[in-house]
Every structure is written in C-alpha cells, then in structure tokens.
Structure 1
Amino acid sequence: MSLPTGEAKYNIYEVRFKNGRKHFFKNTENLTLYMGDSVVVEGSPGYDVGVISLSGELVKIQMKKRNVTEDSEEVKKIYRKASQNDIEIWQEAREKEPETQRKGREIISKLGLKMKLSDVEYQGDGKKAIFYYTADERVDFRQLIRDLASLLSIRIEMKQVGMRQEAGRLGGIGSCGRELCCSTWLTDFRRVNTNSARYQQLSLNPLKLAGQCGKLKCCLNYELDTYLDALKAFPKQDVVLKTEKGEAVFVKMDIFKKLVWYTYKNERSRWFMLSLEQVDEIIEINKNNQVSASLEDYQMEVEIEKKVSFEDAVGEDSLTRFDTPKKSKNKKRRRKTNNSNKSQQNNQNRNQNNQKTKNKPKVEVTQNNKKPKQNKTQNTNQNDNKNQSQNKKRPNNNRKKRPNNRNRNNQNKNAQNKQNNQ
C-alpha cells in the first residue's frame, strides 16, 4: 500500500520473541522489512533474534498504550535480517533450554528457596539466559545466580512474573474449549474481584471461577459493564416492600428476564415472583405513605416451558427404532418354507395323475352317463390317499428301543434271586 506524498514509513517495528515477549526496535539501516521477517536486533549484551510482529502506524498506538517514546532507551536498533547462520545458532541455544531449566530447579531445591522456576529463555547468540520465576514473597537469589553462572558460563538474568503472566507464557486450553486469552491476544492484565461475579449473579465457587493460573478468570470482566448498565433499572436490594400482609424482602433477580423474587419477613419459605414494573409500582405506592396489596395479588404465574419434541417430517421411523432388539423370525420362515414345499409336491402329484387319466382310453357308456364320472372321482381320491401316505414321515427303525424302567427293575430282582438260590 502506497503512502501519501511527503510521508515516510514509520521506522519503528514491534519484534516478538519467545512466548509473546515483545519490544520496539528502530530501523536505523533503512532495511525493507515486512511482518514475519526474522531480524537480528540489539541485545544486552550481544544480539538477539526475533520476528517482526507489527509495523506502520499500528506501532504508534501500541507505544502510546505502553507509554514508550521514540527517544527512550527501551527502543533499540535493528542490525540486519537474520541469516541462515544466525538462525542455526539461535536454534542450538533454544535446544539447551529444557536441560537448563532442569538444572536450575535442582539448584533451587538444594538451596531451599521458596520460588517456582517456570521458564528459561536463551538469547539469540547463546551468551545470556533469562530465568522466569514466580514467588509469593521476596526471595534472595544471589547465591542461585552465582551457582548458575559458574555451571553454565553465561550471563544470568532473573525476572519475576505473576501467575497470569506465567499461564500466558506456558499456554493452555481454558474451560470454554479455546486457547487461553492471556497466551493469544490479552496483554493488559487487570485486577479481577469477586464483586464482578456477584454483579453477574454467579455462584462463588472457586473451582468454577478460577482459571489455569489459579486466580479469578479474566473473562469475568468482559461482560461486567453490560451487567452494571442493566442493574441501573433495578431497585436497590435493601429496599423493603410494605404490603397489607406485611413487609417483603428481596431474595434474588433475573437480569435478562427482568424478574425479581421477594418473600415476607415472617414467612421466608414462600417466594413470590414479580416483574420489574410491578416492583416499581409497589415502591411508588410506598413513597406516598400507603400500603400496597399483598404479594399474592401481584404474583406472576410460572409458565412451564414445553419440551421440544422432534417429529418425522419425511415419514421415516423414529430415532429409537434400533434401541430394542428385533425378534428373530427364522423359525416361522422355516415352517413356511416346509409347508410350501409340501403343497408344491402335492400339486405336482395331482397334475401327474390328471395327465395319466387323460391318456387312458375313454369308456363308451350307452345307458348311464354317470358311471365314468364316479370312476374318475374314485381314482382321484385313491391318488390323494396315496400321496398322503407318501408324504407321511417314515418310522426310523434303526433306533434301538430302550427298555422300560420296570423291566430293568424286574430283571435286576430276578438276577438277585438266582444268586441267592445258588
């Protein structure tokens, strides 16, 4: 995008380092730089390697937020674009970080310091390392720096961070299922109080309100302003309603539905749901030194929400049709197939008999025409009887007949008697 005539490109860039650490650097060499370029910048001492994250007029806005001026000592120089050799040295230094962190934790445990070492970051040239730690109290780590410097032979810098900053450096997934805000875009860590949860009518459960850092979630502040604007329309919670039956006290409210619950002082077990307009009406009556009607007259009926039922618009079966197992129909099918086979055999036999009777010579009858008809019916009956006898199951003579229990008992008694007689 071309700039207007007479205007030069802003020569200060924002450079990002490990885990979201950002600083501003000045392009004194007039290099052509773009977002995403790896650059070699001024370090203390030596040099460092980072990636350009922001350029142009947006850098001015970020500098105003952090109260950084162009002439301040915090704005250092950009030396050059990173070469392949610079990137290889930087990667070798990054590979040493896990082992350095392990050694640092061992020394901390030996010295008995009440601090937690959360992360280690090497400079791009490998001559300096920054140790990030968290601690509830002030820690004297002078002996720790001496031991680390003699062990690693590099310059050591200790930097204390808060719990939220530690979670932002390490990263993670929140209860909403998304990546943590502090590790992606949130840079301004404001203080979060339990009052923000009270204004939003949330239960003060520390397990639900705490984030990955162990502190209250930063997202409790996101909708706080909208809740405060909505609460302006509601009466104060310490207002007492004077009715014919007695004085009523506030219990709870629903900001989105604009509903308020009140109960009598003498009868705390019963709650009465009123709309915001009804509560304002009772308060105006009480301002005129008058007593309103009882809360039973103002109480709203609770509408039971209908359950959403899903219907088949296409005419298909219900969704639960596969829940109950179907009964097996194999037995009935087998029976039907056997009966159908038998009926087919009978029909075939009948057709064969009818063909035989057609092929026989006709008998000439002069006196009575009914005799041959009788013979035909007799023949068909005989054939049917034969077919039925053929279709009957033949007895299986191969099976051995089992002797009855009585015969066995008698045989055993006879054998015993013979032995006794002998």
Structure 2
Amino acid sequence: MVVGHLIEVAFRGNRKEFFSWDGEQPPPLRAAIIVDADRGEDFGRVHSTGELAEVRCNGCAHGCGTTPPPRKALRLATKEDEKLDRELTALNEQARRASMERVKSNGLVMKLTDAEWQWDRRKLTLFFTAEKRVDFRGLVRDLAAQFKTRIELKQIGVRDEAKRLSGVGRCGREYCSASWLPDLRPVNLGVAKDQKLSLNPQQISGACGRLMCCLRYEHEFYVQSRRKFPKEGKILVTSRGEEKVVSCDIFHERVTLRTVEGDTRVIGLAELKAEVEGEVASSESEGAVGVVVGIEATLDSATVAMLDTAEYALPVGAGVGGLVEVVPDAVDAGTESSAADGESAQRRKRRRGRRGGRRLRAAEGKGLDDAADSAEDAPEDESDT
C-alpha cells in the first residue's frame, strides 16, 4: 500500500500551496513538478517535504491544517516542461502591459501589479491594488476577448504586492515576506512605542510604505522585560528621598532617577527595589513605634499597671488606634492629649509627603503657581519639625 506524502510547492510570485504525492518517496527539494490546478495543470518547484511540510501546513496561512490537501502532485517535470515555463516569463510581462492599456481605456483607478499565466495557458491571473472598490466587470470582458482565455482578477494589499515582487530591504537582505515569513501580520505604531523607536514613519517603514514586519520580532521581549521596571515618570521614595524615574535600561537592568534638586543617578534594578522596600518598611515601623512611645511616656505607674492586667490587655494584632480605644476613663487627660498629638504627627507627616510631591512637580516645570505654593509651605514645615 502506497502512503501519500505531504509536499509544499512554490509557484511564481512567492505563492505556495500544499499537495499530496502518491510516490514511494517524496520528490527532492527544488525539483520541478507538475501539479493539479484549477481546470488544468500548473508548474512549480518543491519547497518542503516530510515533517517540515507538516509543521508549515499546520502553521501557515496557506496551509490546510489537519485535513488532507485537496489537490495532488501529478509528476516530475521534464526538460520540455521547464522550457515552456521559462517562455511564460516573457509572456507574463506582455500580458501585464496589455492589461494596463485596457485599464486606462476603461478609466479604472487601479494599479496592475503582476500577471501570471497558468502553465497550460488556460487561465490568466492579474493581481492589482486599489484604494477603493473597483467595478472591473467590463475590463474582464475586454481581456477575455483579447487573450481568448479565462481571466481572473485578484485585489491584494501593499504588503502582498511587496511579497510577490520581492526586493532588497534597508538591512541589505531580501524582504522577509518574500523569503521566509509565512504570515503577514499587521504592525501598528504601538509596537514601535514599546521599543522606544523613532516614530518617524520614514525611518520605520518598509518598501511597501507600511511599518516593517521585523518590528514584531522582539516586541514580546520588550513587553515582558518592562514589567519588571517602574513606569517612567513615577515618583519613588528611596534612601535619598523622593526621586522621579527618568528612564529604564532593560538590557543592563538599570534605572535613571532624578531628585527634587535636579541631581540624577543611575542605579541597578535590584538595588532600587531593595531601597524602596527598605524605606517603606522603615517608615511603617517608625510611624507605629513613635505614636506608641509617645503615649506610654505620659502614663503614670498606676495606668501602666492597669494596662498590664488581663482586663485591659491589648489584643494581638491591634495597632495604635486599638491602644487608644482600650484606655479606660480613669486615664488622665495627659494620656488623651498625647494620643491626639501622635495622630496629628501622623497627619503632618502625610501632609509633608504630599507637599514634597508638589515641590518635585514644580521643580519639573509644571507651573509657577505650584512653585509659589511650595515656597509658602516651607515655613510651615519648619514649624512642624
């Protein structure tokens, strides 16, 4: 029993399709082959076989997936078949020029990109680009009467046009779409923004006039790497106070910071995280201990003994607010006033943090009004301290 082989065949204009081969062994790569086509036969060359063909069939846009290909490869091409295919190269250009004259005579706004004769000359396919919908029914009748064959017009995009015509990109190599890229995925301006590239269309566009396909190759790496870094423009509290994130270097894992005074420094990502976490932990511990110490300093010996009993013991996990709530009415007025002083100290600390942020934004040039407000708040800070 002969088992069919899956092969991928490449045609003119970088067009590829999958066929089944009934021979015992698959044909060699780049071998000329005759395949079953639409109402006839066509000429192509073997592009991939075996496991590679199966992988490409499941992942390519022109692949048939898990279903077997609908057409078969008939036989290997002979010398006469290859000679006839070479003659079609000149006939394709003649057909395109003749069709362009018919387009002008019909007054159609369309650009004929390429013409492709089927190997047996039973069909002529014309590829064109147009910005709007084109009614080419009259053109098809004129071309059918002129070439005496079946005419098929296909509208393609500018990316597909570059894929069919091929060429050399600014990198000095053949277009990715024409050489190896299986699918032409859309590329938007957000991809260039994530990679911090120039947003000038002339610098990031290919020969087709659209954004280059290679912008998507490393986009996922940039997205995953930037999640580790703080956002640019965010204000962080470090060992030097409040600093603004200026830029992030994802390759060397470094962050550039700027203080209120305008001093900049470059610090490693690991060191920055350690500083930020250390400042948060120290601020929380200092705030809680400071209030508790302020309260206990005003308590007399009798009140301290009362708090040590089981009746007035502070529940596990209670904060400063819990300590103030469990203090009975027998506590003197000095205790209540000290608790109020502790809470007011916390509020002043929060206000100073907000004022510090406003001063930093004023120093960045947000406006003269904010700078004036921060200058007025400066004496009040000195009185608080």
TM-score, length-normalised on structure 1? 0.60
> Which residue does 2:348 correspond to in 1?
none
Distance 1:29-1:243 versus aligned 2 partners, 3 A rule: closer
Which residue among 169, 192, 195 is the counterpart of 2:190?
Answer: 195
Q: Please state how far the C-alpha of 1:251 moved relative to its aligned partner.
A: 2.8
Question: Per residue, is there more helix in 1 or in 2?
Answer: 2
Partners of 1:80 and 1:221 lie apart in 2 by: 40
- Equivalent residue in structure 2 for 1:39, among 21, 33, 36: 33
**Is the alpha carbon distance of 1:69 and 1:228 closer, same or farther for their aligned partners in structure 2, counting shifts above 3 Å?**
closer
Compare CA radii of gyration and give the structure with the larger one. 1
Superposed, 1:97-108 pairs within 5 Å as: 97-108=92-103
Q: In the TM superposition, what whole-angstrom CA distance separates every residue of 1:92-151 from its partner, at most 9, and x where no partner exists?
A: 332211121112222223333232211111110122111111223222211121121112
- For 2:90 and 2:17, locate their aligned partners in 1 and report how far apart those are by CA, in whole Å: 23
Moved more, 273-282 or 227-236: 273-282
SS in 2 for 1:96: helix
2:202 corresponds in structure 1 to 207
Closer/same/farther in 2, CA of residues 259 and 29 from structure 1, 3 Å limit: closer
Does the C-alpha gap of structure 1 residues 32 and 237 become closer, same or farther in structure 2, counting only changes over 3 Å? closer
Q: CA shift at 1:25, angstroms?
A: 1.9
Tell me the alpha carbon deviations over residues 295-317 of structure 1, each in whole angstroms, 9 at most, x when there is no partner: xxxxxxxxxxxxxxxxxxxxxxx
Q: SS in structure 2 opposite 1:176?
A: coil
> Helix, strand or coil: the match of 2:152?
strand
RMSD after superposition: 3.0
1:150 pairs with 2:145: yes
Answer with 177-186 or 233-242: which moved more. Answer: 233-242
Q: Which residue of 1 aligns with 2:155?
A: 160
1:234 aligns with 2:229: yes
| Contact 1:260–1:275 under 8 Å retained in 2 | yes
Task: Identify the residue that residue 128 of structure 1 maps to in structure 2.
Answer: 123
Tell me the distance in 2 between the aligned counterparts of 1:65 and 1:18: 21
Aligned length in residues: 283
Q: Is the 8 A contact 1:120 1:129 kept in 2?
A: yes
Residue in 2 aligned with 1:20? 14
Consecutive unaligned residues of structure 1, counting only runs of 5 or more, are: 1-6, 295-422
Q: 1:90 aligns with which of 81, 85, 93?
A: 85
Supply the distance in 1 between the matched residues of 2:240 and 2:46 (Cα, whole angstroms): 72
- Contact 1:100/1:120, CA 8 A, preserved across alignment: yes
Query: How many angstroms apart in 2 are the aligned matches of 1:271 and 1:201?
Result: 21
Confirm or deny that 1:55 pairs with 2:38.
no
Higher relative contact order (CA 8 A, sep 6+): 2
Cα distance in structure 1, aligned partners of 2:198 and 2:154: 36
Residue 64 of structure 2 corresponds to 68
Distance change in 2, residues 1:188/1:136 (3 Å): same
Shift of 1:58: 2.6
Deviation at 1:250, TM superposition (A): 3.1
Answer yes or no: is the 8 Å Cα contact 2:233–2:246 preserved in 1.
Answer: no
Supply the distance in 1 between the matched residues of 2:263 and 2:144 (Cα, whole angstroms): 71
Out of 262, 266, 269, the position equivalent to 1:276 is 269
2:122–2:150: 8 Å Cα contact kept in structure 1? yes
Is 60-69 or 148-157 further displaced after alignment? 60-69
Residue 388 (structure 1) aligns with:
none
Q: Following superposition of structure 1 onto structure 2, how do residues 278-317 of structure 1 map, counting pairs within 5 Å? A: 278-284=271-277, 287=280
Q: Where does residue 181 of structure 1 map in the other structure?
A: 176
- What is the rounded CA distance, in whole Å, between the counterparts of 2:146 and 2:264 in structure 1? 70
2:333 is matched with which residue? Answer: none
Residue type of the partner of 1:37? A
Structure 2 gaps of 5+ residues are 285-352, 357-385
8 Å CA contact 1:39–1:78 kept in 2: the answer is yes
Q: Which amino acid aligns with 1:174?
A: G
Deviations 1:251-308 (A, max 9, x none): 322222223234457x7x76544432454345335645587xx9xxxxxxxxxxxxxx
CA separation of 1:264 and 1:112: change in aligned 2, threshold 3 A:
farther
Judge conservation of contact 1:248–1:262 (CA < 8 Å) in 2.
yes
CA-CA distance at 1:77 after TM superposition: 2.4
Q: CA deviation at 1:167?
A: 1.0
